Amino acid sequence: MMSGTFARYLRYTSWPIIAAMVTLMAWGVTAIHVSEQNDPSIAGFANKQMIFACVALVAFVAATLVSYPRLGQAAYALFALTLLLLVVVLFLPARGGARRWIFLGPIQAQPSEVAKLTYILMLAWYLRYRDNYRRLMGLIVPFVLTFVPLGLILIEPDLGTSLLFLPTLYLMLFAAGAKLRHLLGIVAVATAVVLLPVPVKLAASAPRPSLAYAVVSVGGQRYAISAASLAVMEPHQLSRIEGWLHQSNLRDTEKGYQLAQSKMILGAGRWIGGRDWSEGEIFFQMLPEDHTDFIFAVLGGQWGFLGCLGVLLLYGVIFLFGAEIAVITSDPFGRLLAVGVLALLFSQIVINVGMTMGLMPVTGMTLPMMSYGGSSLVVNGAALGLLVNVGQRRPINLGPKPFEYDDTE
């Protein structure tokens, strides 16, 4: 019996996903080693990343051993526990101006990373047999469940992680059968609110804000008409947006320094890279956070365009076989869980690569399986374990296919 179960486990395991994941982790360790050769302050980080990768592989295997329906039964409890940790972390000492970590001796955990996974579990479990989200009012509960962890993570603050929740929500709702016109309508209203012009009083000698729509004078007082969203942003976030909008003049301002260095390093790699990192390349030393948020720039500078393309193809393998799992799986919870994991990874990759290339404003976003960081790596390993878990336990469909609705509803 045990041998039969093990044979089924091996037979239905998606080995291409595992191969792509392990290759990305190994390549990430190598890229971090490139960075540490040129930055003494991160010496030994590659060895630490190897340990994190081993722990991530253990998390991956563990996530495949327990059947995902059982995990679904505990989804609400796990999500509630994560919310509690997100509250607790706000009362702990700040590090680098943010409260994101819980320290347990030599180990530090980031609850916001775990929240991404428990959120997907919870939302998939909530949506699995409901159809009320086919109505506009039925979308209120999923959005509330999303904004609770999103808001707590923004308070830390951690803008990068918070950006992942809404794309994941939208893709899961769409996969569950929510009406596209409702989803697009919400986007349109949200965009209008974010860009809503509001007046901000300016000092008499203050220069014109570069992000203002206009500057007007009323009764001798100057006002900058700016987007409402800018009023709640931190100064460094505004600087990043300014640097992104004025990329033609990046090198003359500190606002776009990281982006300027990132684009320069990507271009320096050309087609195949080929630089000898043992000799030490000075431009790697000029890019802050090159082992975390800007690891893709290191890939481009060291292995060139073909290296970047190779990494994207490895991600493509995960998405291709992950999409196959989602399509073949007839269980509503399993399909939504697979879609949620793929949406989470896709959002991270698009934002990280986009900001590295100057297609998006710079924000704190790691590249899955490659950037330095234990919490991120372990959570991504567990997420892929859940994806493979769904593929290993595909139930036989004896009824109508889930999430198929008459468009006239």
pLDDT beyond 70 at 397: no
- What pTM does this model have? 0.87
- By CB neighbour count within 10 A (0-12 exposed, 13-18 middle, 19+ buried), where does 137 fall? exposed
d(CA 162, CA 218): 38
- Across the range 259-268, mean pLDDT stands at 79
- Across the range 139-158, mean pLDDT stands at 91
Which of the four pLDDT bands, split at 50, 70 and 90, describes residue 135? confident
Q: Give the pLDDT of residue 398.
A: 46
* Residue in the block written with tokens 């203050």: 206
pLDDT beyond 70 at 266: yes
- Across the range 1-7, mean pLDDT stands at 59
Pick the more confident residue, 231 or 221.
221
d(CA 321, CA 158): 31
Q: Give the pLDDT of residue 98.
A: 76
* Angle (CA) 266 272 278, round 5°: 80
Helix H, strand E, coil C: the string for the chain is CHHHHHHHHHHCCCHHHHHHHHHHHHHHHHHHHHHHHCCHHHCCHHHHHHHHHHHHHHHHHHHHHCCHHHHHHCHHHHHHHHHHHHHHHHHCCCECCECCCEEECCEEECHHHHHHHHHHHHHHHHHCCCCHHHCCHHHHHHHHHHHHHHHHHHHCCCHHHHCCHHHHHHHHHHHHCCCHHHHHHHHHHHHHHHCCEEEEECCCCCCCCCCCCEEEEECCEEEEEEEHHHHHCCHHHHHHHHHHHCHHHHHHCHHHHHHHHHHHHHHHCCCCCCCCCCCCCHHHHCCCCCCCCCHHHHHHHHHHHHHHHHHHHHHHHHHHHHHHHHHHCCCHHHHHHHHHHHHHHHHHHHHHHHHHHCCCCCCCCCCCCCCCCHHHHHHHHHHHHHHHHHHHCCCCCCCCCCCCCCCCC
Q: Give the pLDDT of residue 275.
A: 57
pLDDT beyond 60 at 263: yes
Q: Give the pLDDT of residue 405.
A: 60
pLDDT digits (tens, 9 = 90+) for 331-385: 899 999 999 999 999 999 999 999 888 888 888 788 999 999 888 999 999 999 9
Q: Give the pLDDT of residue 400.
A: 58
d(CA 115, CA 285): 33
pLDDT beyond 70 at 34: yes
- Across the range 140-163, mean pLDDT stands at 90
d(CA 119, CA 112): 10
Spatial CA neighbour of 232 closest among 206, 202, 203, 194:
194
d(CA 329, CA 335): 6
Pick the more confident residue, 55 or 246.
55
Strand partners, 109: 102
pLDDT beyond 80 at 5: no
- The highest-confidence range among 33-47, 80-94, 283-297, by mean pLDDT, is 80-94
- Across the range 256-284, mean pLDDT stands at 67
pLDDT digits (tens, 9 = 90+) for 181-198: 999 999 999 888 888 888
d(CA 92, CA 73): 31
Q: Give the pLDDT of residue 277.
A: 47
Spatial CA neighbour of 268 closest among 290, 313, 310, 299:
299
CA dihedral 179, 184, 189, 194 (to 10 degrees): 140
Which residues 6+ apart lie within 8 Å of 364 measured at CB?
158, 159, 160, 161, 293
Q: Give the pLDDT of residue 238.
A: 75
| Contact in structure between 367 and 352 (CB atoms under 8 Å) | yes
Q: Give the pLDDT of residue 315.
A: 97
pLDDT beyond 60 at 288: yes
pLDDT beyond 50 at 66: yes
Mean residue pLDDT across the chain: 84
pLDDT digits (tens, 9 = 90+) for 153-165: 988 888 888 889 9
Q: Give the pLDDT of residue 396.
A: 52
pLDDT-above-70 percentage for the chain: 86
pLDDT beyond 80 at 175: yes
d(CA 79, CA 57): 23
Q: How many CA atoms lie within 13 A of 175 on its CB side?
A: 28
